[in-house]
Structure 1
Amino acid sequence: MNPVATMVRALGGGGLPRTYWVLWVGTFVNRLGAFVAPFLALYLTRERGFSVEQAGLVVSLNGAGAVLAAPLGGMLADRVGRRITLAGGLWAGSGAMLLTGYSDTLPRIAVAAFLLGLMGELYRPAVAAAVADVVPPRDRARAYGLLFWVINLGFAIALPLAGLLATLGYRLLFIADAVTTFLYGCCVWVLVPETKPAAEPGRVARSTLGDLLTPFRDGVYLAFCLPIFVLALLFFQNHMSLPVTLAAQGLSPTAYGLVLSVNGVLIVALQPFITRVTGRLRRSTSLALAGVLTGVGFGLHALPASVPWAMLAVAVWTLGEIVQSPVAPSVVADLAPGELRGSYQGVYHMMWGLASSAAPALGGAVLGRYGSPSLWVGCMALGIAAGGWHLAIAGTRRRRVEALRLERPEMSASLD
């Protein structure tokens, strides 16, 4: 028996099309080389000798580029096609990676980091749109779940490799990351056909600005994006507020690394199986459950932490992340018109980009002014409120989806 086929079936990936698996493998290769992001701040402060404030500026510019990349990448995926946006974005990102690694002054590094965020993230909405193009609607949640799973698997392997490379020289991180990104682009160009749906005969030509703005004019879609943004704000608290809190509670950096490793371990171990369970629930129920688990998990950090307690808290909010990750993109794919899948996925990814930029500042402000318990209890309240919001808007979205099914019978049969 083919061991690869056996593994695919065990992960719940049987029946998905070849093009999806090309994207899946390419994503894994790319994430295996995801060396720069987790070490960028250390590179700037230790290798380049920049102050914390200067490093913060560079990282913020990188995040700003990523925020702009989401709607731009989505629009390009709809306008020029998934394949060229994917390959071109990955190749441009590879070049920006090398430019960042070989820049030697603060202004040059700042510009390069912005371009890295902009060019390096263009491909994400195109991947999400391509998955919606080639995967049958009934299997989309499963497909997005497996993609989320392999992203985390690759990143978990990349972290220790990056640490090893960093001891040999930080520039190697940029070179290796650029190589894997470039290879993913080549993989797409050679093996992935254009998946963008053909334009309907007689359809009036649309403006580029109209494509960019259409998702923002869709009230049902924006109502869905609001709790997604709120939960993203919570997830990104683990980048600054959580390590600061756990350090103040007496946990060492080694203990913090052990605590946070629970996130990756649980995602790799449980994602394929939990996706099967959530596939039997209404999507609004799954999203509400994700909100509650995320809120309660971060709320547990309000209590004095031992390592086991902190690990339990991380485990609870990780379950929320696992539940949400396959369901939310499948909702986006259903709400988006076929010709605007990239634009809708771009706005969805922009919510995460905005949250990654805003969360450290908001969390730090609350932590500094009101203290740790207030921050984490506030996170719990926001998570539970987001879960309740998902249930409150479920009826409106259900009616919208049912109306769309009359126009597009091929749509997902998933219940909202």
Structure 2
Amino acid sequence: MRKIYQNYISNFQGLSKEIWLLSLVTFINRAGAMVIPFLSLYLVNSKGFTLPQVGWIMTSFGLGSLAGTWLGGKLTDSIGFYKVIVFSLFISGVGFILLQFIDTFYGFCAAIFSLIFVADAYRPAIFVAADTYSKPGNVTRSITLIRLAINLGFSIGPLIGGIIIASISYTSLFWIDGITCILASVGLFLLLKPKESKEELKGKAIVKEGISPYKNGVYMLFFIIMVANGIMFVQYFSVMPLYYEQAHFLTEDLIGWLFFINGAVIVIFEMPLIAWLEKKKLSKTMATFWGIALLAISFIVLNVSSWSGVLVIAMLLMTLGEMIGSPFSNALALEMSPKGRKGSYMGLYSMSFSLSHIFGHNGGMNMVDSFGYTNTWNYIFIFLVGIGGLSLWLHYLLKKPSEVVPSDGIKCKANV
């Protein structure tokens, strides 16, 4: 046991103190983000909105995320990631507190758009921060540690959130969400010393190398794969809680425990799993493929049995896919980003998840409303099989020397 413990701890060694601090602030932020997993339940049960209305509210969520990540990427390149992160956290904290006072459908659409617009400017900035504060060769593990903090917060947040809903009310979550975001911004401002990005350290005038992400055909294929995979992944955070309640009659506290499984497994196993996969030299593109494949299986197993234990199996499969796919896809996006354009490339990468929110929640809600849960899971499985095929094509393209434009702007074979 001692050797296992030492091997586990060794996976965290060598990371900079700034990465640890970013991870701590991210944990505080995500621990408070307990409203999001219960948002669809809140909108149906407390506000009385229909499933199609909830779908449109979540589309507004996605539109805000899309605009916010785009602006966040631009601002990261122009004013730096530090200011973007601090202001995003603080203003979104205020927004979460105010959100509880909105009652109308159109008002909620506008409010959720504005809130997520500010909140998701954080996304590209935190990726660039991870790259900036990482020691050489530690970027993937640094991203993994930040993801671990996100998932630790995400595992604790919904668990506490479910208990609070069951014992107090939904509205108390908005206060906790807002206050923790504000605390995270203050903590970052007080404890983290600003640092210029690696490109800025070479001179105040940043020379943009390579080409725009929108003109990089291989990167755009990667972007499409991320959007399509994300559309299916977000079903776990809007349609799935309703499925747990309506098809398996779970209460909010039990739903919180299911999400706790996701976060707890990632916290315990993701870092050693990533270290092991890196030692096995699993390519970033094949890791992306396996992430998609496991997500697909997690949906189809829901139709195997009406036994509620299958929900745990599905959650574990989705979690394993997330652990394998997400850190490597993040690292792949950074690896494909030319110097001076990292904010734009990572902004587009983050926008893939925003687009997923725009189409995923609305599409999922309307599919369930029209076809039921069983058929919806079948359609999602078939769709993800096709996306898995596209990821294998991406793997093939990135193995061809003429297809890759790495960070130095020179065409060569990439380590993907």
Same structural fold, with TM-score higher than 0.5 when normalized by the shorter chain: yes
**Equivalent residues in 2 for 1:5-404 (5 A)?**
10=9, 12-41=11-40, 43=42, 49-52=47-50, 57-102=56-101, 109-136=108-135, 138-166=137-165, 167-168=167-168, 170-190=170-190, 191-196=192-197, 197-198=199-200, 214-243=212-241, 251-254=248-251, 261-279=260-278, 280=280, 281-370=282-371, 372-398=373-399, 399=401, 404=406
Looking at structure 1, the residues matched to 403 and 179 of structure 2 have their Cα atoms a distance apart, in angstroms, of 42
| Superimposed CA distance per residue, residues 104-163 of structure 1 (whole angstroms, 9 cap, x where no aligned partner) | 666655433221111112111100111122224522222222221221111221123334
CA distance in 1 between partners of 2:370 and 2:118 (Å): 37
Looking at structure 2, the residues matched to 22 and 373 of structure 1 have their Cα atoms a distance apart, in angstroms, of: 44
Q: Is the 8 A contact 2:60 2:358 kept in 1?
A: no
Q: SS state of the match for residue 33, structure 2?
A: coil
Alpha carbons 1:62, 1:117 under 8 Å: kept: yes
Report deviation, 1:370: 4.8
Distance 1:306 1:80 in 2: 53
Classify the secondary structure of the residue corresponding to 1:253.
Answer: coil
Shift of 1:203: 6.6
Cα pair 2:36 2:237 within 8 Å, conserved: no
Contact persistence 1:335–1:401 (CA under 8 A): no
Q: Is contact 1:231-1:383 (8 Å) kept?
A: yes
| Partner AA of 1:327 in structure 2 | F
Deviation of 1:195 after TM superposition, in Å, equals 3.1
1:230-260 Cα shifts (integer Å, max 9, x gaps)? 2212212223444555667x52214766655
1:323 & 1:307 partners in 2: Cα distance?
Answer: 26
CA pair 8-401 structure 1, distance change in 2 beyond 3 A: farther
Runs of 5+ consecutive residues of structure 1 not aligned to the other structure = 1-5
Classify 1:297/1:396 alpha carbon distance in 2 versus 1 (closer, same or farther; 3 Å): same
Instruction: Call closer, same or farther: CA 1:165–1:400 in 2, change over 3 Å.
Output: farther
Distance 1:240 1:46, change over 3 A: closer
- Structure with the higher fraction of residues in helix conformation: 1
Structure 1 position 304, deviation (Å) = 2.8
Q: 1:154 to 1:257 in 2, by over 3 A?
A: closer
Pairwise CA distance, 1:388: 2.7
For the 8 Å contact 1:149–1:268, the answer to whether it is kept is yes
Quote the offset at 1:303 in angstroms.
2.1
Q: Residues of 2 paired with 1:247 and 1:326: CA distance?
A: 31
Counterpart amino acid of residue 323 in structure 1 = I
User: Cα distance 1:287–1:203, how it changes in 2: closer, same or farther (>3 A)?
Assistant: same
SS in 2 for 1:93: helix
- Deviation at residue 77 of structure 1 after TM alignment: 0.6
TM-superposed deviation, 1:187: 2.6
Q: Cα–Cα, structure 1 residues 159 and 7, in superposed 2: closer, same or farther, change >3 Å?
A: farther
Q: Is the 1:334–1:401 contact (alpha carbons within 8 Å) kept by the matching residues of 2?
A: no
Residue 397 of structure 1, CA deviation: 2.5
Unaligned runs of 5+ residues in structure 2 are: none
Segment of structure 1 superposing worse, 382-391 or 79-88: 382-391
Tell me if the contact between 1:130 and 1:195 (Cα under 8 Å) persists in the aligned partners: no
Please identify, of 235-244 and 301-310, the stretch whose mean Cα deviation from structure 2 is larger.
Answer: 235-244
Query: In structure 2, what is the Cα distance between the partners aligned to 1:158 and 1:229?
Result: 26
Is contact 1:300–1:313 with CA below 8 Å preserved after alignment?
Answer: yes
| Structure 2 CA distance for aligned equivalents of residues 113 and 126 of structure 1 | 21
* Distance in structure 1 (CA, Å) of the matches to 2:261 and 2:163: 21
Percent identity over the alignment is 24
1:15 Cα deviation after fit: 0.8
Change (3 A) 1:173 1:296: closer
Q: CA contact under 8 A between 1:246 and 1:305: conserved in structure 2?
A: no
CA gap 1:321/1:368 in 2 versus in 1, 3 angstroms: same
Distance of 1:137 and 1:224 partners within structure 2: 25
Distance 2:7 2:102 in 1: 42
TM-score, structure 2 normalization? 0.83
Structure 1 segments (4+ residues) deviating >6 Å: 6-9, 199-206
Distance 1:66 1:121 in 2: 5
User: Per-residue displacement from partner, 1:356-396 (whole Å, max 9, x unpaired)?
Assistant: 23123323444455554543333333333323322222243
1:165: Cα distance to partner?
A: 4.5
TM-score, length-scaled by structure 1:
0.83
Give the 3 Å change call, closer, same or farther, for CA 134–103 of structure 1 in structure 2: same
Q: Distance in 2 between the 1:373 and 1:161 partners?
A: 30
CA deviations on 1:168-200 (whole Å, 9 max, x unpaired) are: 455443332222212222233231313322186
